[in-house]
A and B are shown apart, each in its own frame.
Chain A
Amino acid sequence: MKPKSKHRSLNFPFYVTKRLGFSKKKYWAIRAGGILLAFFLAGVVCTILKPGSFGTFFHELFRGCFDFSDISTVIDLLVTFSLLLLIAITLTPAFKMKFWNIGAEGQILVGCLAAAGIARFNPDLPNALVLILALLGAQVASTIWTIIPAIFKALFNTNETLFTLMMNYIATVLSAMMISLWVKNGSMAFGVLSNGIFPSILDNTGTLAVILAIVIFIGMYFYIKMGKHGYEVSIVGESRDTAAYVGINANKVMLRTMAVSGVLFGTIGWLIVCGVNQSFNATIVGGKGFTGVLIAWLGHFEPLEIALFSFLSAVMDQGTRTAASAVNISSTQFSAICTGVFFFVIIACEFFSRYQIKMHHKEKTEVESL
């Protein structure tokens, strides 16, 4: 008599295996299909909420983003696009290093806080000087916020994911506290800033922010793809042993990379406060810090793919907002649902292009019948 296999626990009728040798063409076809599906599903959600609005939804979605007769819609779209783009590309070096920074939201927020504070309390200085001071202040604040988790990781090997996540909440509470200290009427938001604002181009202060963001993006492209720093970051991310072998101090590279991220997050905060909103409140970043994490990851840390997903996600955000107000449903919530659907579908595509599901052979094994 032989021991029989009696307990075959967790026997699902299927198993998941890795796909190998999946062609790039097929991969992008699946992704393109996924993107179309996401927009289609957004339309379906809209129709469920407001029956008969399917056609209107797509019409309004398009109008809300690409209405060239009203240049401000296009600039608004570009502002969302360029901010997402910049956030995602700023996160990229850290991610390449396998430093999972999910604290962009808070890191940008403290930059916003510093920029707004400097602008608010210096109403009499020349605008250009206040802009420079606000930029520097924001960069210092964000760098401190960004480098603290890196220092702890270098010294005590703390988990950067949890650390940076917690720092988000601290940043939010800190902002709320500073607002309640500074704004005595209890409105929890600054009034419109009177000093330290970007000059208008095409009748919009956001235009300059878009231009600056894209210039910085191009700089980051070279930094990551062709620079010695970017190369070191890739090595550290791939293997710390390799880094040591070629004489790279991994901790030094980590701190340096996070400092670079911090400076850029500060710059982003400055762009948001002085360029786009001219105001400040504790939710001013609006989740872009988190969306940026998703975009960087879905773009495989490749600058051009990141640009594509930033654009699509900006279209989804702004288009669904416009469509929602056109058919009279809550625009913020609807837009959030659609963004959720969008990323869900894209991530599913990602999964199914890397893995496949196979069914087990149906027939019972003879072992069990023995």
Chain B
Amino acid sequence: MEYIRLENITKVFGKVVANSHVSMSIEQGEVLSILGENGSGKTTLLNVLDGIYQQDEGKIFIRGEEVKIHSPRDAYAHGIGMVHQHFKLVEAFNAIENVVLGLSKKELLAIYQNLGEIPSARTFPRASIKESVAYVQAMCARYGFSFDPYKGVHDMSVSEKQTLEIVKVLFRGVDTLILDEPTAVLTPQEIVHLFDVIRNMKKHGKTVIIITHKLNEVLEISDRIAILRKGEYVGTVKTSEATEASLADAMVGEKVELNIHRSTLPTTGDRLIVKNLSVLDGEGNKALDDVTFTLHGSEILGIAGISGSGQKDLLNALSGLAHHKSGEITFINPKKEKPVTFFHKDIKQIRELAKEGKFHFKDGTKADLTHIHNKKLIEMVNNEEIIFYEDEIIDLTTKKPIEIRDLGIKLSYVPEDRLGMGLVADMDIIDNMLLRSFRKGRGRLLKKEKPKELAQRVVEELGVVTPSLNTEVGKLSGGNIQKILVGREISSHPKILMVAYPVRGLDINSSYQIYNLLDEQKKNGTAIIYVGEDLDVLLAISDRILVLSGGKVAGIVDSRTTTKEELGLLMTKTVRKEEGNETQVQA
């Protein structure tokens, strides 16, 4: 039976058409997936249904009657509620306070009536918070939620917060629940649990709409799949008639290759040795706790973990951005048999290194430079006659980013926050290329010839779609922004490349392009650290995976032999332990 019908919905933001004449229907009691790439207009469409946005054109019908939804309150009145990707909870409140937040006494009483008799309730309910606990708990029991009404939101895991959001919406008596990217931040085990909850809601006659771009989950949970592409409605298919490949093709509009290429190469020696690294965050808590690992050349080390387990702190610490850290970070510069140059060493440093016996001449004899005049020495260095005897070992523990660069260590970093950290949104592509190199050269004025060449090369080689090199990067799409950032970072032929969530927000084709670029870098001998959230991708692209949990290393596994479930268990390892301790204390 048709329940909700969207007719000709169009939503425009300035020049961007987020939804263009979308007409589709939602049936009562079904689990419907809205599938589409990033930027295809999924969230906008459902935000219109939830009353957060007003459609510019088109109508919404519920049970055949046209309705106007001007706000989420209107949506609630029509039995529609939404759980947003970024939760909208008050951190300082506890669970029950968040559930009843914004409801008037009259509304609460109406909800009580709706939920039916609660044995312990009084005859004349007073709509107090204490009283509502009984009703919320009765409702949770019905759906099989575990719910602690007095737990503070700030103490909750992501999964608990999500449950609370769902409880909040269900308590308001909705029939239709919209979930925006609900699995994005969950572990595999939590996803299984969430799907049980969704099936349970369906059993109770609720309609569930899931916004997602993950194909395997769509196939697992939904009854029907509606596909959006570039703001337009492509069609709805029955899940039983769909495959991953057919869905991907429909999403992108052309045939796509869904295999991540992973070269199997011998590693080229240790590149980075991290020992007992601990980092304190702004409040003095341990963001990283005793982390130890070794990174090799020609390998991709994946970093997995629940978001906020110390991934960002690890990368910041390695790149010299963290302030309060202890432990050891050692970089091994592969210099053996390579000539010393004046690129990052001056004469004095070369003489000192020679005293330590770091160099030998081309004929293999040890280089003793004490009796050689500066002029002769400069000539010898320029002729590449002085050769490193062994790899250079550099202690990075206390180095700042600028010192790391001055030491000639080619360490590149593609941070999670592309426009807030890696690039400057208001500057054009050329000026953004300049970010890493603007200090080069004498004089007070900027020199833009080389960055311009680099910008041109990146745009051509990575296929960046841009009106010109003078376009502000903030105006480009997510995929193009990321290509510019990655392009700049790999242009220096890094020895170590760190990438954080490099495909977040990117379309399928751009994502695979980034995966291929990383594999190319690996072939060049680069040691790569890949922080990711999609475990399927992490398993497919990395050689080894380091799992962080609560700032600690929960394990380092070989990604060719491990499974997603194993990773999921490791991700929650320490968290579980803590919860166990707490229960013991309470008992």
Q: What residues of chain A have their CB less than 8 Å away from a CB belonging to chain B?
A: 1-8, 18-21, 222-223, 226-229, 231-232, 234-235, 238-239, 241-242, 244-247, 360-361, 363, 365-367, 370
Q: Which residues of A have CB within 8 Å of B424?
A: 234-235, 238-239, 242
User: Which of B107, B400, B439 is in CB contact (< 8 Å) with A3?
Assistant: B107
Q: Which residues of A have CB within 8 Å of B79?
A: 2
Q: Which residues of B have CB within 8 Å of A360?
A: 70
User: Would you call B401 an interface residue if the criterion is a C-beta within 8 Å of the partner chain's C-beta atoms?
Assistant: yes
How close is B319's CB to chain A, nearest CB, in angstroms?
8
Given contacts A231-B438, A366-B67, is CB(A6)–CB(B104) below 8 Å?
Answer: yes
Interface string of B411-434 (1 = CB under 8 A from A): 001010100111111110001001
What are the nearest 4 A-B pairs in CB distance?
A: A20-B14, A247-B402, A3-B107, A5-B73
Q: Which of B110-118, B137-145, B514-522 contacts A (4 or more CB under 8 A)?
A: B110-118
**CB–CB B111/A226 < 8 A:** no
Q: Which residues of A have CB within 8 Å of B405?
A: 247
How close is B205's CB to chain A, nearest CB, in angstroms?
15
**CB–CB B421/A239 < 8 A:** yes
A361 CA to B59 CA in the complex, in Å? 13
User: Would you call B76 an interface residue if the criterion is a C-beta within 8 Å of the partner chain's C-beta atoms?
Assistant: yes
**CB–CB A227/B444 < 8 A:** yes
Given contacts A21-B14, A245-B415, A365-B70, is CB(A2)–CB(B104) below 8 Å?
Answer: no
Total chain B interface residues with beta-carbon distance under 8 A: 51
**CB–CB A2/B110 < 8 A:** yes
User: Would you call B265 an interface residue if the criterion is a C-beta within 8 Å of the partner chain's C-beta atoms?
Assistant: no
Q: Which residues of B have CB within 8 Å of A241?
A: 415, 417, 420-421
A355 CA to B172 CA in the complex, in Å? 35
From A370, which residue of chain B is reached at the shortest CB distance?
B77
A101 CA to B421 CA in the complex, in Å? 25
How close is B378's CB to chain A, nearest CB, in angstroms?
28
A21 CA to B173 CA in the complex, in Å? 41
User: Would you call B348 an interface residue if the criterion is a C-beta within 8 Å of the partner chain's C-beta atoms?
Assistant: no
Q: Which residues of A have CB within 8 Å of B111?
A: 3
**CB–CB A227/B446 < 8 A:** yes
User: Which of B77, B423, B438 is in CB contact (< 8 Å) with A5?
Assistant: B77
User: Would you call B469 an interface residue if the criterion is a C-beta within 8 Å of the partner chain's C-beta atoms?
Assistant: no
**CB–CB B110/A231 < 8 A:** no
Taking A245-B401, A245-B413 as given, write out 5 further A-B residue pairs in contact, using a Cβ cutoff of 8 Å, ordered by the A residue number: A3-B103, A20-B15, A234-B427, A361-B54, A366-B68
User: Would you call B106 an interface residue if the criterion is a C-beta within 8 Å of the partner chain's C-beta atoms?
Assistant: yes
How close is B289's CB to chain A, nearest CB, in angstroms?
23
Q: Which residues of A have CB within 8 Å of B124?
A: none
Interface string of B62-88 (1 = CB under 8 A from A): 000001101101101111000000000
Interface centre among A3, A5, A370 (most CB of B within 10 A): A3
A223 CA to B446 CA in the complex, in Å? 10
Given contacts A20-B14, A21-B14, A228-B444, is CB(A239)–CB(B436) below 8 Å?
Answer: no
User: Which of A1, A226, A242 is in CB contact (< 8 Å) with B423?
Assistant: A242
A242 CA to B424 CA in the complex, in Å? 7
